[in-house]
Structure 1
Amino acid sequence: MAGTTAAAGRGASMNFWRALLVLWSCCSDTVCRGGPGVNVYLSVEETRRLIGLDAELYYVRNDVVSYYALPFKLLVPGETNSLHFTWHAKSKVEYTLGFQVDNPAVMGMPQANISAQGEIPRKESVFRVDLLCTGTFDSEVAMEMQLNLTINSSKNITVLNFKRRKICFKIDAVHTAPATSTRVFYISVGVCCAVIFLVAIILAVLHLHSMKRVELNDSMSESGSSQGLSQPSTQTTQYLRADTPNNATPVTRSDLKELPGCNPEEERHNGVTQASKKSGYPTLRIEKNDLKSVTLAEAKARVKDVAISRERVTFKDVLQEGTFGRIFHGVLVDEKDPSKEKNVFIKTVKDHASEVQVTMMLTESCKLRGLHHRNLLPINHVCIEDGERPMVLLPFLNWGNLKLFLRQCKLAEANNPQAISQQDLVHMAIQIACGMSYLARREVIHKDLATRNCVIDDSLQVKITDNALSRDLFPMDYHCLGDNENRPVRWMALESLVNNEFSSASDVWAFGVTLWELMTLGQTPYVDIDPFEMAVYLKDGYRIAQPINCPDELFAVMACCWALDRDERPKFQQLVQCLTEFHAALGAYV
């Protein structure tokens, strides 16, 4: 198991590096004023030497500074003792160069083969920085190179900080050859390790096979229960478009204004202030999960003002059913005009549901209450009459749950002319990102974003819902890690897993996993990883692998959402812009 996990992790890590290189040029650049035509980057050879990728890594490209690439601390292996930077400028730009080392006892001050100050060459050239380990300790040293660029014409100063982590090893004064008995011991240990490794591989293969079988059974059972998807199965297919372009058309502010769900005028009418739009997100707010502190009486009191009579509700078809919960397609009669009716989703519980389960259904149904956005689906009404099972009513979308819809697409026939396209999937992702951007501006944390908590109609309009009854209707997506609480472990950020902390940044992490779900048509992420090992797996830098037929540009967006440091993750506004640019590029080729 360990061998398989490590191999998968190395593959995912390589894809992660590749994705970051693309994303650094997509949504994190800031213009350096003055226009002197400055370029500072790592050549293909240097990038291959440091991180094994055949690509140029730009820190400054034609005066545009990548503030996503600069703070990333690249690891310099022990056998690498020099760094090479390529640079040039079209007009006069002066520079000053300086270094800092956090542990001089392990590594001395770096030395460059250029002067500490001067003028950037007009022709493309390379300068070298030597990293000199003292050889007295085995340790990792944090090194920072500061390059200040000054444009004489405007006296504008741009500060570039390049961060590296250098591995240094202790140099032994005396090297003695091992005795014969020592060699025999090492050989014996090696044979034992080989045997253990083979056994681990066999166990890992058996475990993976059993997990895949469980996943397939779960997929079939969930698809079988999705009677609410009114679209015929002949209108979907499992194939996606693979011919995607590498460039993206820039999106202007007017384009974003016309994007469904992201209209600034609509958000202003819904209570978003101008100040919050100018400053991006409000101060990051972190919450803990505290659902268990709410009583049934308190939950009913929260929804009392939207309570209606049960006589106005008529049940039709069962859309989904779990151990103690059900979702129906129903009809709500207008209170003033009984001849008018509208279709609704009805969430309710069975007779044997406990008080805790009823309380959680009502409490979680209030998550989006009072919010108004075209990509959100808050509750309309509730029925909480004494002696009856509580019911929660939401507007009806005729293709129902998004996860079940995607899985029906995957199971459909391949020659279907009504196949869902990759452009459709990206459009769904944009709508979800728009809804989440609105929630972030309103300082609302969803805490359980996933395709299972979204619904879709026949025009591919996607709306985000609450997570009421999701634990019961999608039990394979939730796990208890010994704390007596079922949580969506495979969708959670590391800080949520370890410290039970949730914020808009953790919602961004979950959006990255949701985007992965879209591109795989409803597959379960991290299906071969034990839920108890998820925190260690993420902390070690491993992520889900790039889906088949998923372009690098799209996987780059996912990868950026999974940064361990929550401050390094993009905002939902940035995600909307990146996805919109990619969607526009797809449209130009369809």
Structure 2
Amino acid sequence: MDRMPSYFGLGWMRCVSAELYYVRDGQINDYALNFVVPVPANVKEIAFTWQSLAGRPLPYTINIQTSDPAVLPRPVLNISRAGEIPIEIQTFSISMKCSGIRPAEVEVTLLIEVTLNRATNNVTQLQFRRKKICLTGDQDDNNIDDPLLMETAAPPQSGLITLIIGGILAIVLVASLLLIAYCARGPTKRNSHGQPMRTSSFQRLQTQPPSAPPSVYITSSTIIHQTHSTLQRQKMEYQEPEELHRRIAELTVQRCRVRLSSLLQEGTYGRVYKGTYNDQQDVLVKTVAQHASQVQVSLLLQEGMSLYGASHDGILSVLGVSIEDHTTPFVLYPAPNNTRNLKLFLQEPACARSVTSIQIVMMSNQLATALVHLHSHGVVHKDIATRNCVVDDQLRVKLADSSLSRDLFPGDYNCLGDSENRPIKWLALEALQKKVFTEASDVWAFGVLMWEILTFAKQPYAEVDPFEMEHYLNDGYRLAQPYNCPDELFHIMAYCWAMSPLERPTFTQLQACLSDFYTQITRYV
């Protein structure tokens, strides 16, 4: 098919030296156009650039609406609301002037329709949402004395957020929004109030619980007045080899009783097979290749024993172990009803079409219940993520150990120059900074896991360099609300990412909130 590329860029005044492509080389960024970008109170105008690369002007229409016209009257465009996107780069702006009658956060919706081909009625519709912060007495002020404010009030000259619309005849290529660009590594770019700029797939959230509850599912008493009863209790490590040997001896099975049927996952040295035990029980078998080092063999056994004795429906505890061949030991796990890795399941195209919001809440609740059990026994998991969970055909989810995960999911782990591969994008701030792992750090990771389930296992903070994670978390930035995620569910996730460990909910509280929310949403289905 002939390709008719078209392009126009979208810029927010406070972005500097940043660029983002929404559709590039025919590839669409999957972060949706539903994220709401805040516009600070001191920003009265946002600027856009656009340009048609189709070799001819492209017809457009623009419509703007506000959720509270009394606080924020309808914004004013300095171009016509219908016309043609020029073939030369052009900048236009939208004026957002609050009335000042009362403080509010007003949602502004900008709808742009671009006609790529009149003959085939090929029209691309793009909707952008901004949240304008209005303050009492916040009216237009043309006398700006602060040079920093004067700088932000000038039309941007370069580095605006850009949008590429790739048009293919007979197929409308719908763009997706990644919102604010990931700033390059180096000194933090700050606005006139000294605050860091927004970034692409995440947003700045409250890092302390608000004084009033955001929804009926989380109350201020639930979040604020309870803390982690065993906050400083660390996960039991295998510092004594005798303990590990004792556990292996209790779980030893004969290798001849294990039959491998199919290879499910393969890494550099790790392998996961589907098989049977005693010719009747379906199992998952974790093992290593013959070229694996003794360190890798020891890690498989040590991490495979980490949930030893955890008797709970929501926990995948080890069933048996075989060390007859010391170079390639087997670790067995029960696997009824086609049990498989949760992350790989979520990434299947059929999953996104079949799994509902109710089922997502149900799965999250199952894992929260399992972690209530785990923490009640003083065990901290330290690596909660979809890659370390399994799911069966009935969408029953179990929490598993992290054995082989670094090898099977190398993109989820990073080394920050300390020779230790860690799940940087899942770590709480204190775990990232000081390698402190507690029940509260598990809660943080659980919030990221919920985000994974809602996005069907997208990579969290995909645009952020692992070396920058501590900086961004310290400045209050968190993952953005996923597309089609109910506000109540996002509130639950956001509380998991409170800056202080003592301000995060416990899993008992999370399970109660998720259970209540599940009850509420099932009433209407």
Q: CA deviation at 1:377?
A: 0.7
**Structure 1's 577 and 390: CA in aligned 2 closer, same or farther, altered over 3 A?**
same
Q: CA deviation at 1:355?
A: 1.1
Q: How many residues align?
A: 354
Q: CA deviation at 1:347?
A: 0.2
- Mapped contact 1:289–1:500 kept (Cα < 8 A): no
Distance (whole Å) between structure 2 residues aligned to residue 376 and residue 413 of structure 1: 22
Q: CA deviation at 1:571?
A: 0.9
Distance (whole Å) between structure 2 residues aligned to residue 466 and residue 370 of structure 1: 12
Q: CA deviation at 1:301?
A: 5.0
Name the residue aligned to 1:348: 287
| 2:340 paired with 1:400 | yes
Q: When the two structures are superposed, what TM-score results if normalisation uses the length of structure 2? A: 0.59
Aligned-residue Cα RMSD (Å) equals 4.2
Name the residue aligned to 2:105: 53
Name the residue aligned to 2:517: 582
Distance (whole Å) between structure 1 residues aligned to residue 103 and residue 286 of structure 2: 50
Matches within 5 A, 1:75-474: 198=159, 282-287=229-234, 299-300=244-245, 302-333=247-278, 341-397=280-336, 398-408=338-348, 411-412=349-350, 419-474=354-409
Structure 1 residue aligned with 2:488, among 545, 553, 559?
553
Distance (whole Å) between structure 2 residues aligned to residue 401 and residue 12 of structure 1: 33
Q: CA deviation at 1:482?
A: 0.6
Q: CA deviation at 1:290?
A: 6.8
Amino acid corresponding to residue 318 of structure 1 in structure 2: L
**Structure 1's 445 and 524: CA in aligned 2 closer, same or farther, altered over 3 A?**
same
**Structure 1's 80 and 516: CA in aligned 2 closer, same or farther, altered over 3 A?**
same
Larger Rg: 1
Distance (whole Å) between structure 2 residues aligned to residue 198 and residue 578 of structure 1: 43
**Structure 1's 460 and 386: CA in aligned 2 closer, same or farther, altered over 3 A?**
closer
Distance (whole Å) between structure 2 residues aligned to residue 499 and residue 561 of structure 1: 19
Distance (whole Å) between structure 2 residues aligned to residue 374 and residue 389 of structure 1: 29
SS in 1 for 2:382: coil
Q: CA deviation at 1:516?
A: 0.6
- Mapped contact 1:377–1:463 kept (Cα < 8 A): yes
- Mapped contact 1:12–1:543 kept (Cα < 8 A): no
Distance (whole Å) between structure 1 residues aligned to residue 519 and residue 298 of structure 2: 44
SS in 2 for 1:393: strand
Name the residue aligned to 1:508: 443
Name the residue aligned to 1:495: 430
Structure 1: runs of 5+ lacking an equivalent? 16-43, 56-76, 82-176, 209-245, 252-278, 334-339
Amino acid corresponding to residue 198 of structure 1 in structure 2: G
**Structure 1's 559 and 14: CA in aligned 2 closer, same or farther, altered over 3 A?**
farther
**Structure 1's 535 and 499: CA in aligned 2 closer, same or farther, altered over 3 A?**
same
Distance (whole Å) between structure 2 residues aligned to residue 396 and residue 464 of structure 1: 13
Distance (whole Å) between structure 2 residues aligned to residue 355 and residue 427 of structure 1: 40
Name the residue aligned to 2:75: none
Q: CA deviation at 1:386?
A: 4.5
Could you tell me the percent identity over the aligned residues? 42
Distance (whole Å) between structure 1 residues aligned to residue 383 and residue 488 of structure 2: 25
> CA-to-partner distance for each residue in 1:493-514, whole Å, 9 max, x for gaps?
0000000000010000011001
> CA-to-partner distance for each residue in 1:411-435, whole Å, 9 max, x for gaps?
2398x6xx22110111000000000
Name the residue aligned to 2:170: none
Distance (whole Å) between structure 2 residues aligned to residue 567 and residue 453 of structure 1: 25
SS in 1 for 2:347: helix
Q: CA deviation at 1:248?
A: 6.3
Q: CA deviation at 1:199?
A: 9.3
Distance (whole Å) between structure 2 residues aligned to residue 561 and residue 51 of structure 1: 28
Distance (whole Å) between structure 2 residues aligned to residue 482 and residue 282 of structure 1: 34
**Structure 1's 367 and 2: CA in aligned 2 closer, same or farther, altered over 3 A?**
farther
Name the residue aligned to 1:265: none
- Mapped contact 2:235–2:380 kept (Cα < 8 A): no
> CA-to-partner distance for each residue in 1:293-332, whole Å, 9 max, x for gaps?
787x875454222112111111111011111000001111
**Structure 1's 555 and 413: CA in aligned 2 closer, same or farther, altered over 3 A?**
closer
- Mapped contact 2:236–2:379 kept (Cα < 8 A): no
> CA-to-partner distance for each residue in 1:99-145, whole Å, 9 max, x for gaps?
xxxxxxxxxxxxxxxxxxxxxxxxxxxxxxxxxxxxxxxxxxxxxxx
Q: CA deviation at 1:388?
A: 4.5
Distance (whole Å) between structure 2 residues aligned to residue 444 and residue 50 of structure 1: 49
Q: CA deviation at 1:201?
A: 8.3
**Structure 1's 290 and 13: CA in aligned 2 closer, same or farther, altered over 3 A?**
farther
Distance (whole Å) between structure 1 residues aligned to residue 295 and residue 231 of structure 2: 31
Distance (whole Å) between structure 2 residues aligned to residue 576 and residue 318 of structure 1: 35
